[in-house]
Structures are given as structure tokens and as C-alpha cells.
Amino acid sequence: MVPSLDVNGKSYLYGSKDASPKGTYRLGSPFAKFHKSDIRKQLNAYEGGGKWRGMFYFGELINPVTGKVCHGGNRQIKPTDIVVLVDQIARIIPQTGAEADHGKEGARWGEENSGVRLAKFSPIPWLSEKTYRGNPDIPVFRLAEAYYMLAECKMRTGDKAGAAALINKVRKRYFPDGDPDPVTASNLDEWRMLDEWMIEFLGEGRRRTDLIRWNKYTTESWWDHPADGADKAYFNRFPIPEQAMGSNNLIEQNPGY
């Protein structure tokens, strides 16, 4: 996932008190935007009977059965080293030779321990329940999506209180002891709406569509992605494949391609 921290542990999160000198972004930083009391923000582990908890792999990876930590075993992490997944994507592990690029950040500089991993679907079960293994089922449309669509419509027509109530109906299941940061009419703006879409549907393939709908896809920056600029607005549409165009000479390519 897009990281929340720079190589020195400073935050990319907009409004952070410990902000990165490299800048902060309103978009991105998904892991940091999950509240610490959110039941999803814990290590993913299978609990049996087709049930599992947690939605991420981060920090020290601990085997839920044996209680032992996971060790390395590749060219970057020695078999004796403990793997610690960090919310950063950079060269952090001391290295020598051709890969001695300590401190460099960006997608191309990630290491084995770089980045929090999302584990939202297809649990890895125990051997005794191997029928659950590799379950390919994923949601195409969820009830929560209908709630959020209606909430966005209400927000756009001025009913922020109604929009907040719908979003909170979905959020409350993640906070057994009460939501510490509920959506309200006063804190619901375009950025909060986009954050709610992101954390609820993380990894479900709709982020680009949401950003385009709010006119943020080419106009805003996020980690390792400077804003494209007004002249790249055509990125909001995909090019038409050559094969499709070749089948009908009346089809014209989308502008910009």
C-alpha cells in the first residue's frame, strides 16, 4: 500500500504534528487513516470455521499457531533476522555494493520489508480446514457501497447530517466500544468523504473511479505521484483498444491518446 511515513518515520498525512519535510498529502496514507481502535487494524489471522480477524500484515509477523516470529531468508534479509513490515517504502536495511542506496524512497526502492500488506480476501486456513484454501470469492457489489452512494448523494445535495448517519451505520461495526471519530455534518467534506470511500473499500478496485468523480485523479498529488496537471485531464478516460477501433472505422480514439 502507499506508505504513511517517510524514510525517517515522519508522516505524509495532511495535518500531522510530525509532518515529513518532504510534504504531506490529503490523499493516500491508508494505514494511518484507520483508527487504532478499528478492529480491522490488526494482524490478519485465521480463527477457524471460515472466520478470521485483522486486515493487514505489519510489524513483526507472528505465527498465530506457534507464537513464533517470522524470519528472513532472501538476499536482503538474513535467515537470522526477524521480518518487520514497516509503513514506509524506501532503502532502510544497511546494504553494500550495487544496492547500497540507503535512504532512497519510491516504488522502485522498496525492500522485502517495505510497506504494510493488505489481507482482505481469501484467508489462508489451517490444514484441517483446507476446503477454505484459496477461496476465490470476492464481492462485486456490497450493501455498504449502496449506503455510501446514497450518503454521497445526500452530501452533494446539502444533507450532510443524513450522509453522516448512513456512513456511521457502516462504521459502527468496526468499533465495538463506540466510534471515536464518527462522521458528522461539521467534519464531512470532500476529503473526509474520499477517506471514507478509501478505508471501507481498500483493495476493491474502485479508487481511481472515486478520484475521477471528485476531480482529484489528475489534479492532486499523493506519495510518489505528483499531480499530472490540467493538460493531462484525458487520463480520466482510458484509451480505446486498437482491436476495438480496428473493428469499426467510425470509432474515434479518446482525445489525448
Residue 200's CATH number:
1.25.40.900
Mean predicted confidence (pLDDT) in 149-160 = 98
Reported as a pLDDT band with limits 50, 70 and 90, residue 185 is very high
Q: Provide the mean pLDDT of the chain.
A: 89
Does 199 fall in a domain? yes
**Which region among 5-14, 32-41, 116-125, 128-137 has the lowest average model confidence (pLDDT)?**
128-137
| 66 is a domain residue | no
Q: Which domain holds residue 205?
A: 143-217
103 within domain boundaries: no
Domain count within the chain:
1
pLDDT for residue 97: 55
The answer to whether position 254 is within a domain reads no
pTM: 0.87
The arithmetic mean of pLDDT across residues 69-85, rounded, is: 75
In this predicted structure, the answer to whether residue 22 has a pLDDT above a threshold of 60 is: yes
Domain assignment present for residue 211? The answer is yes
Residue 240 inside a domain? The answer is: no
**When comparing pLDDT for 146 and 125, which is higher?**
146
Is residue 127 over pLDDT 90? no
Q: With respect to residue 94, please indicate whether it lies within any of the assigned structural domains.
A: no
Can you give the three-state secondary structure of the chain, one letter per residue?
A: CCCCECCCCCECECCCCCECCCCCECCCCHHHHCCCCCCCCCECEEEECCEEECCEECEECECCCCCCECECCCCCCCCCCECEEECCCECCCCCCHHHCCCCCECHHHCCCCECCEECCCCCCCCHHHHHHCCCCCCCCCCHHHHHHHHHHHHHHCCCHHHHHHHHHHHHHHHCCCCCCCCCCCCCCCHHHHHHHHHHHCCCCCCHHHHHHHCCCCCCCCECCECCCCHHHHHHHCCCCCHHHHHCCCCCCCCCCC
